[in-house]
Amino acid sequence: MLARSSAQSEAQSDVSIRRTLFVAAFVVFWMLGISARLVYLQVSSHDRLVDRAHRQQQDAIETAPQRGPLLDRRERELARTIDTTSVFVAPDEFKTEKKETEAQTLGEIDCTADRLSSVLGLNQKELADQITEARKNGRGFLWIARRIDPDQAQALEAMELPGVHTRKEPKRFYPNGPLAANVLGFVGLDGNGLAGIEQAFNEKIIGEPGKLFIEKDSRGFAYESTEIPGRPGQTIVLTIDQSIQYTAEAALTSAIAESHAKSGTAIVMDPHTGEILALANAPTFDPNNVGAAPPAARANWALQNIYEPGSTFKIVAYSAAIEKGLAKPDDHIDCQMGSITVAKRVIHDHHPFGNLTLTEALAKSSNVAAIKLGLRVGDPTMYDYITRFGFGSRTGIELPGETAGMIHPVSRWLPSSIGSIAIGQEVGVTPVQMAAAFGALANDGVRIAPHIIREIRSATGTSIYRPNPEQHRVISKDTARALRGMLEGVTLNGTAKKAQLDGYTAAGKTGTAQKIDPQTKRYSNTKYIASFVGFAPVNNPAVVIIVVIDEPAGAYHGGDVAAPVFRQIAEQILPEMGVMPDTEFKNANELVASVREAPARDAKLQNQIEEEKRASAATLPKVVSRANSGEVVYAVSTNKSMLMPDLRGRSVRDVARACAQLGLQLEAHGEGRVVKQTPEPGTELQSGQTIFVDFGRPN
C-alpha cells in the first residue's frame, strides 16, 4: 500500500515537473518571440515605422524659399521678397463620428466655402466640391489662395473659420514697378524665375525651401505647427544704375510716343569695362502685374530683336580699310554723284555727292563711299572684321534669349553682297551687339564683352563671384582714334547734328534702314528702323549709347528720330557720373534755368521712383532763391556784385553752368559732387572772381 502511494506521488511529481518545464519553456519561447519582434520593430523597421507615425500624426509642407535680392550698382533694391498671406484648408478636419451627421458635415463645408468665396472672390460651388473631394481622398492639405491682399487676410483671420488656416509666404516685389523690367524679369506663382535675371540666375537666387510641420491629434485635428526656415538665396548686384536706367526709359518712352513708333530700345554702356549701365525697352511692363502685359512687351528686344543696321554698320568697312592701310581719313573718294553699280545692281545715295574726303563721306553717310571701301577690302577681309567686331556671335550678356544675329559665311555671299553688307544690308544684328562694336572704337580698339552682372554674394554677404569679361583687340589704337575723330564729324557737320551735346563733345553714326515687307519679301517704302549709336566725350568716352526706334511715323531718319534721344540721355547722365565738360556751353540762360531746376528735378525723380509714378513730362517746381537757406542760390545782386551760390551736393555740370552764367572763374578738384566750396554760401562776389570747389563721392 505504501509502495503504491509512493509510486503515485512520484508520478504526480513527474507530471508537475513536466508541466512546469512546459510552462517555463512556453514563457521562454514567448519572451524570445516578443524580444525578436521588438528587436525587429525597434531596429530593422524603426525608420519605416517612425515615418509612418509621422505621416499619421504630422503633415509636412514644403515652404517657398526666400529669394535673394537684386540690387543696382549703388546697392539700391530693384527686386526684393516680402511676406504675404496664403490660405489653405485641412479637409480631414471636416470629420463625422456617426453616419447620420454626414449631412451636417457637408453643410459645414458649404458654409465655409461660401464665406471663403465671399472674401476671395472664388466660385462657392467649385470650392465646396474641391474640399469635399479632398476630404474623401484623405488629403490633409489643400491650397485655396496664394499671396492674397492684406485686407483679405485680415478679414479671413477675423472669421476664424473651421478647417481654414493661413500662413506667411514670400512674394517677389519690384519697388520701382516697370523700371528695368526686361532686365529683372519676373517670378511665377511657384516662385521660379520666368524671365530676365530672375530666370537666368534662378538657381542662385531661389535659395533652399523650408518645412512647415502640422501636428494632429488622434482624430486628425491640427493643434500645433512648427516651421523650419529655409536658406535665403544669393544676392545679385547688377551693373545697372537705377538713375541712368530711369533717364533712358523716360527719354525712350517719350520718343516712342512722339514718333508713334512701334517699339524702341536704348542701351547705355561703359566702353572701358563692358558694364551695361542701362537697358531700356518700350513698350515695357510691370513685373508686379505680369498678367496685364502682352507677350510682346515682355520680350527683351535689346538682345532678341534682329534688325538690319543700315549706315551704323559702315564702321566695319571704314575700320577695315584704314587698318589695312587702304585709305586714310583725309583721302578723297569719288562718290560718283550718288550712284554705283555692283554686280548689275544699282545702289544710290540719299543725295548726289561728288568728290569727298573719307571723313566727309562718313559724315554725309555716302553709300557709294562705303561700298568702294568694301570693294577695296574684299569679301574675306570684310567678313573677318565683321566677326572681329562681334557680329554673328552672342555677346554672352547674362540674360536669357540672346540671339547671335545673322551673318552669312563668305561662301554664301552673292557677287553683289559686298555692296549690300558694306552699307548694313543682308546682315542682322542686335542692339547690344552694335553697342559693343562701337564700344571697341571708344575703348581704343579693344572690344570688351558687355555684361550686366557686377557681383554675386552669398546670403551672409560674402562676395563669391565677380565677372572677368572676355576682351580682344579689334583694331589698333591709331585706327580707333582716327574713327572717333571721323565720327565726331557726323555730329558736327553730318547727319547727326541733333546729337550734339551741350558742354560735351560727341561722336556717332546714324542709321536709317528699310524693313523687309513680309508680304512682298522686298524692302518696304513705308517702314523703317531709325537708329543712332554714339559716345561721349570724344577723346575719353565715358559712355556708349545706342538708340533704335522701330517703325516711326512721319520723320524716320536716324538723325531726326534717334539722335535727339541720345542727346537727351547723355546730357543728363554725364554730369551725374562726374564727367567733366570738355566744350563750351551754348546757351547760358538755358543752363542757369536748368541749374535752378536741378534740385527740384532730383527730388522729383526720387519721389517718382519711390512712389512708382514715372510721368516723363512732369512740370518741375521752381526753386526760390534765398541766401543761407539750404536751397541752391543763383541770385545776382545789384552794383555788379552777387551772392555765392550754395553748391554743396551739386554735380560738376551744375557747377559749371552756374559759373558760366554768373561770370565766375572755376577751379575744380576731384570728381563726383561738391563736398567743399570757397567762399562760403552767401558771400558777396565780384564778376570774374575765382571760386574753389572740391568734388568727391560719398562713402
Could you give the residue numbers annotated as active site?
A: 311
Torsion of CA 303, 308, 311, 316, to 10 degrees: 70
Backbone angles phi, psi at 479, to 5 degrees: -65, -40
Reference 496, options 552, 536, 441, 448; nearest CA is 536
SS3 464: strand
Reference 614, options 177, 164, 281; nearest CA is 177
Helices assigned H by DSSP within 395-476: 417-421, 431-442
What is the SS3 assignment for 49-115?
HHHHHHHHHEEEEEECCCCCCEECCCCCEEEEEEEEEEEEECHHHCCCCCHHHHHHHHHHHHHHHHH
Beta-sheet pairing, 471-473 with 446-448: antiparallel
Distances (CA, A) of 171 to 83, 236, 287, 656: 6, 17, 12, 46
Q: Count other C-beta atoms under 10 Å from residue 581's C-beta.
A: 20
Cα–Cα distance, 363 to 352 (Å, whole number): 14
| All three cell numbers of 581 | 565738360
- 294 cis-preceded (ω within 30 degrees of 0): no
Backbone angles phi, psi at 567, to 5 degrees: -65, -45
DSSP conformation letters of 292-320: GS-HHHHS-HHHH--B--GGGGHHHHHHH
Q: Which residues have C-beta within 8 Å of that of residue 609, sequence separation ≥ 6?
A: 176, 179, 242, 246
Backbone angles phi, psi at 112, to 5 degrees: -65, -45
Q: Count other C-beta atoms under 10 Å from residue 354's C-beta.
A: 10
| Max intra-chain CA distance, the chain | 160
Cα–Cα distance, 424 to 299 (Å, whole number): 24
Distances (CA, A) of 197 to 74, 171, 299, 457: 17, 16, 13, 15
DSSP conformation letters of 3-29: HHHHHHHHHHHHHHHHHHHHHHHHHHH
| All three cell numbers of 294 | 502682352
Cα–Cα distance, 605 to 573 (Å, whole number): 13
Cα–Cα distance, 563 to 492 (Å, whole number): 12
Which residue type, as a one-letter code, is found at position 240? I
Cα–Cα distance, 121 to 256 (Å, whole number): 38
Q: Count other C-beta atoms under 10 Å from residue 439's C-beta.
A: 29
| All three cell numbers of 178 | 516697370
Structural contact between residues 470 and 244, judged by C-beta atoms closer than 8 angstroms = no
Cα–Cα distance, 679 to 671 (Å, whole number): 19
